[in-house]
Amino acid sequence: MGIRFILMVNKQGQTRLAQYYEWLTLEERRALEGEIVRKCLARNEQQCSFVEHRNYKIVYRRYASLFFLVGVDNDENELAILEFIHLLVETMDRHFGNVCELDIMFHLEKAHFMLEEMVMNGSIVETSKANILSPIQLMDKAS
């Protein structure tokens, strides 16, 4: 299914957003996030952005204090996922204006909504910033 999950985690290892494309129980999620955070946050800037974990791969990228981690199948294109993360950040940047951790915390639902615009069923469906944001802006206006 391509993408299995998308996590945003801050420097302290606290999850700020979690989106799963397969059903996991809370306990499984807690264990998974713990393992991944331990593995990825220990790495430095000089190291590559791909980590093998269980039977899939994690592609991650750090923006300021926030880590974006995407769990993907092994045959997914790692560089494309990096581009996807960048696109996500740019999109949020455009919407929130210089996005920061607090924006995501206080607008978690909106962040989820953006992700839903971009990814369905674990595959990327939309890659144009304008297309992603237009329904969100419309809804903002409506409510």
Interaction site with other proteins (CB under 8 A): 1-2, 14-18, 21, 23, 26, 29-30, 43-44, 46-52, 54-56, 73-75, 77-80, 82-83, 105-106, 108-109, 112-113, 116, 120-121, 123-128, 131, 135, 138-139, 142-143
Query: Is the CB of residue 47 less than 8 Å from the CB of residue 138?
Result: no
Q: For the CB of residue 64, give the shortest distance to other proteins in the complex, in Å.
A: 18
Comparison of 18 and 100: residue with beta carbon closer to other proteins = 18
- The CA distance from 15 to 36, in Å, is 11
Question: Three-state DSSP class for 20?
Answer: strand
- The CA distance from 38 to 13, in Å, is 8
Q: Which of 17, 107, 5, 8 is nearest to 66 (CA)?
A: 8
Our measurement of the distance from residue 79's CA atom to the centroid of its chain's CA atoms, rounded to an integer in Å, reads 15
Q: For the CB of residue 68, give the shortest distance to other proteins in the complex, in Å.
A: 15
Instruction: Give Rg (Cα) of the chain.
Output: 15
* Bridging pattern class, strands 119-120 and 123-124: antiparallel
Q: For the CB of residue 55, give the shortest distance to other proteins in the complex, in Å.
A: 3
Q: For the CB of residue 63, give the shortest distance to other proteins in the complex, in Å.
A: 16
Comparison of 18 and 93: residue with beta carbon closer to other proteins = 18
- The CA distance from 22 to 84, in Å, is 19
Q: For the CB of residue 89, give the shortest distance to other proteins in the complex, in Å.
A: 16
